[in-house]
Structure 1
Amino acid sequence: MDDGLVPRHHDLSNKTVNSFANETRMPQISRPNRPGTLAHELIDRIREAIVDGRYAPGQRLIEADLMRELQASRGSVREALRRLGAEGIVDLVPNRGAVVRKLSRKDFCDLFRMREALEGLAARMAAERVAAHGLAEPFLAAAAATAEADDQGAAAFSRQNRTLHQLIVDFSDNAQLAESLEQMRIPLARLHIRSAVDASYRDDSRDEHKAVIAAIAAGDADAAETAMRQHLRQAASRVLAIVDSELARPAA
């Protein structure tokens, strides 16, 4: 994403946003308070497996298999699955156990409408903080650290995309907003990777990212929210096309 918007003399590849904040006197970013318990570690690992597609929608999560894969006790695995059920990431089905939640087309539409509203708000709030605290340079430097050196395919692009969107949420400095968006990200991530297989989609998305980054760096809250909403509408149209193709496919 070398477009002149992002100063390349900053190398943030081994820095967190908060450590960079300390160096630049940037106000500290708030994140959801997540205790470092074993259950939380297991939740994060199961979430990532769902995002990566290792656990597919509708797949049963067998406790014995998870115990072996995660090197965890039955009690810890059950607690992690119970919490994931409370978050709506898995369904807890009587006599079957935990099953990765399978969403309908309406569910996906609803998620994207909520995500558009919340990430649009995050972009607005990030732009307001950049303007209020003079954070254009640290924001641009942090955004540069999320960019791919070259187009390395769908998986690399998807990781970069998630990192950039999370950065914008971090700069909004709203922990409740961050937590809500984290729960929405899980069911959409697998389909985002599939849509990113198309190189033209990756190119379009990078251009849309540039518009969002430029608006936030300029401290233009209206433009930042508009650019983010437009970007997510385009993403929704791609993902819903994949959903439609999957729904049209005969059941195995």
Structure 2
Amino acid sequence: MNADAPSGPEALVRDVLQGLAEGRFVPGQRLAEPDLMARYGMGRSTVREGLGRLAASGIVVQAPHRGAQIRLLSRRAAQDVLRVTDLLLGLAARQAAEAVAAGADPAPLIAAAHDYDAAEPGDRARVRARYYRALTTLAGNAELDRLLPLLQVHLIRAQLRLNRPPGRGARTALVAAVAAGQPETAELAARSHIRALVAALPDLPDSAFAPD
């Protein structure tokens, strides 16, 4: 048995997150226990533990007599998530650039960004996570490393899959500014894409969101 292989519940969690990135799962979708048991070859208790982990991280909501459902954010909730992300991601970029200015090596971040840009659709969720870990590791801020993955940005990505502006240009500018040790420029680059998403929210159709 591979010691690094995820447990049954963790395998379910990872596949749901990967499925959100790929479009196999979508916000608002119900996750029926019998379907998940058949899909993953798991027992009911294992599936319930996996769903519990997803619920604890805010990906899934569970209601009595209705089962589990992938969370569909309201317009206001999406705005709130993005505004918090704006601040934290900007801080991560600023501190990463400060670290480079003080002598840290930006090569791991540059490599992770290159891999992100070149990733196939099925690998993008994993490679994206590695890119953000490289950014927070370079920033040297353990709280950012802890907090950023808890935000529900992946839900927003899935929910607004067809409506969100591209982020590659802002990411390229962020990495260039970090590598040059330019904190203010790096922070502005990090926040520009998030602010573009916030600005786009009012014009998106109501069908893209849960009721406020």
Q: TM-score, normalising length from structure 1?
A: 0.68
Distance 1:139 1:156, change over 3 A: same
**Residue 17 of structure 1 corresponds to which residue in structure 2?**
none
Contact 1:105 1:243 in 2 (8 A): no
Long gaps (5+) in structure 1: 1-34
CA contact (8 A) 2:112 2:130 kept: no
* Cα displacement (A) at 1:85: 1.3
CA contact (8 A) 2:90 2:191 kept: yes
Partner AA of 2:179 in structure 1: A
After the TM superposition, which of the residue ranges 133-142 and 59-68 deviates more from structure 2?
133-142
Q: 1:240 to 1:129 in 2, by over 3 A?
A: farther
- Which residue among 22, 32, 36 is the counterpart of 1:62? 32
Summarize the Cα distance change of 1:173–1:65 in structure 2 as closer, same or farther, 3 Å threshold: farther
Structure 2 gaps, min length 5: none
Matched, 1:190 2:158: yes
Which residue number in structure 2 is paired with residue 171 of structure 1?
138
Q: Which of the residues 117, 126, 129 maps onto 2:96? A: 126
Picking from 227, 233, 241, the partner of 2:189 is: 227
* CA displacement at 1:170 relative to structure 2: 4.0
User: Residue in 1 aligned with 2:86?
Assistant: 116
Q: Is the 8 A contact 1:148 1:157 kept in 2?
A: no
Does structure 1 residue 83 correspond to structure 2 residue 83?
no
What SS does the aligned partner of 1:133 have? coil
- SS of residue in 2 equivalent to 1:134: coil
- Distance (whole Å) between structure 1 residues aligned to residue 58 and residue 22 of structure 2: 18
Relative to the length of structure 2, the TM-score reads 0.79
**Preserved CA contact (<8 Å) 1:91 1:99:** yes
Listed one character per residue, the Cα deviations across residues 65-88 of structure 1 (whole Å, up to 9, x for unaligned) are 111111212111101111211222
1:242–1:132: structure 2 CA closer, same or farther, 3 Å change rule?
A: same
Bigger-Rg structure (1/2): 1
> Given residue 33 of structure 2, which amino acid in structure 1 is its aligned partner?
E
Q: Give aligned pairs, total.
A: 205
**What residue identity is the alignment partner of 1:194?**
L
